[in-house]
Structure 1
């Protein structure tokens, strides 16, 4: 069993895809496309993550899609951490078709100020997600990592999942700076990290696995494989690579397919029920 803990679906009309640099992924990505991609890479199940549309309708659609798609084992939906009715929003997701497949909530924190996660109303939103028994999924910039560490310390009852290792500046060679920022995050036992999205933080045209290696090695050293998950970040990865290239790069860097990184951590973190 191999689980991809981070993939998306979207249509060409998503506003963020208007960026000219994203032209090669500005198209509809469907369940059929997903099946072809994971089939080529030998992946069995996935976790579908909100794709930046930032509305409840997307999450409801994704839950219905997951209900009808056996390959999708869980959904990380979108909700605003400052939503005064956040608990009701979560309850509404769960009451709808596929609601039992909701495993986490992600807001687009990367678009906020560096101290966003330090703010009391945001912390209250994080606590609401945790009280609902869901993972707090975090997509952040490297500069926001100190606030991730502080939030994890303040909310030890919450499980946090850090996407894309906090987006290190691989193309710019910012290894030492990123190490200093992520080490306090890894010191919090309630933070799990995804080995995902790294090829698009590297040079899209010229990256090699060697470019990713020091970041993966540091992540393994800080988190251990028991707190790491493989994620493809498909179809974003198509800016720089193919799905099999990303999976093969990760297995090469890890010396194989560790059962925790490629399945066990995702199952336990998201409480996935697999058949």
Structure 2
């Protein structure tokens, strides 16, 4: 894959962020004093205030709740935005009518921005949830629709994700947040071994995202994250790893700007082409964001 770049540096795509409006619906996962900073509305305008100074050219908006109405709302937001290039939405994978639902989402205004589907697998008590026949049928429908499937899972769910991906080579699986490794405790195994097994499948990809919110929010350093980032880079390679901020969740541990700067530090040993892939090119390729991104205003280079 050729790197996406501009005369001023790599095209930066934030491949993972969220938006929500508490006046529309509650985010029932935002509980307790630690998450209190997130208990407010985050709009596209708020996102723009963070991304424009950081030189981000485009973003991918990702679902937060398992509510069918959220995905059409996100597609409408993307339709009206020159910043949001793709949407990873939610629909019930176990529904017998999932193919029709996906077709209806693609047909509605803004539906061309739908690039993937995600479910909160991390909250499923069954570690083999991804292997259920009804889930497999749903994943097949996602593949048939030409969409990717984002995996938000925990380390112990990686083996089931690997089996599901092995059984469905026609579907691109995108691993969010590295399956949330135990950064705070400093442990690598068995997470790293399971991660490498998943990444060994050529139709998988990963996101360099969410690592610092798995660390000590108030005392982490880039050095704490580097062992995990290095495993991700080695396992997926730059052509299958993409940067994501996980904004606004990232603000629990760092500002938007520091989150992007940290990604730059974690990829500083790469060649310019490899770095361009992680910071933007892989997202463009994986989510099929299109040539329109290259025509957008040139972002500043990450240093």
TM-score normalised to the size of structure 2?
A: 0.88
Partner of residue 233, structure 1: 246
SS at match of 1:104: strand
Pairing 1:97–2:109 present: yes
* CA–CA distance in structure 2, aligned partners of residues 6 and 83 of structure 1: 26
* CA–CA distance in structure 2, aligned partners of residues 205 and 84 of structure 1: 45
Pairing 1:259–2:276 present: yes
1:79 Cα deviation from its structure 2 partner: 1.1
* Deviant stretches of 4+, over 3 Å: none
In structure 2, runs of 5+ residues without a counterpart are 1-10, 296-303
* CA–CA distance in structure 1, aligned partners of residues 132 and 69 of structure 2: 27
* CA–CA distance in structure 2, aligned partners of residues 40 and 114 of structure 1: 41
Question: C-alpha deviations, 1:84-125, integer Å up to 9, x for none?
Answer: 211111111112110011000111111112111111111111
* CA–CA distance in structure 1, aligned partners of residues 216 and 20 of structure 2: 24
Question: C-alpha deviations, 1:44-85, integer Å up to 9, x for none?
Answer: 100000112x11211101000000001000100111211221
In structure 1, runs of 5+ residues without a counterpart are none
* CA–CA distance in structure 2, aligned partners of residues 175 and 128 of structure 1: 34
Partner of residue 187, structure 2: 174
Greater helix percent: which structure? Answer: 1
Partner of residue 187, structure 1: 200
> Would you say how many aligned residue pairs link Structure 1 and Structure 2?
274
Cα RMSD after superposing both structures: 1.2
* CA–CA distance in structure 1, aligned partners of residues 245 and 105 of structure 2: 25
Partner of residue 299, structure 2: none
1:222 Cα deviation from its structure 2 partner: 1.1
* CA–CA distance in structure 1, aligned partners of residues 70 and 170 of structure 2: 28
* CA–CA distance in structure 2, aligned partners of residues 115 and 145 of structure 1: 10
* CA–CA distance in structure 2, aligned partners of residues 89 and 203 of structure 1: 41
* CA–CA distance in structure 1, aligned partners of residues 121 and 176 of structure 2: 11
Partner of residue 234, structure 2: 221
* CA–CA distance in structure 2, aligned partners of residues 19 and 55 of structure 1: 22
| Larger displacement relative to structure 2 (222-231 or 19-28) | 19-28
1:19 Cα deviation from its structure 2 partner: 3.6
Q: Which has the higher contact order (CA 8 A, sep 6+)?
A: 2
Pairing 1:268–2:285 present: yes
* CA–CA distance in structure 1, aligned partners of residues 187 and 46 of structure 2: 34
TM-score normalised to the size of structure 1?
A: 0.97
Please give the residue correspondences for 1:110-189 in structure 2 after superposition, counting only pairs within 5 Å.
Answer: 110-112=122-124, 113-189=126-202
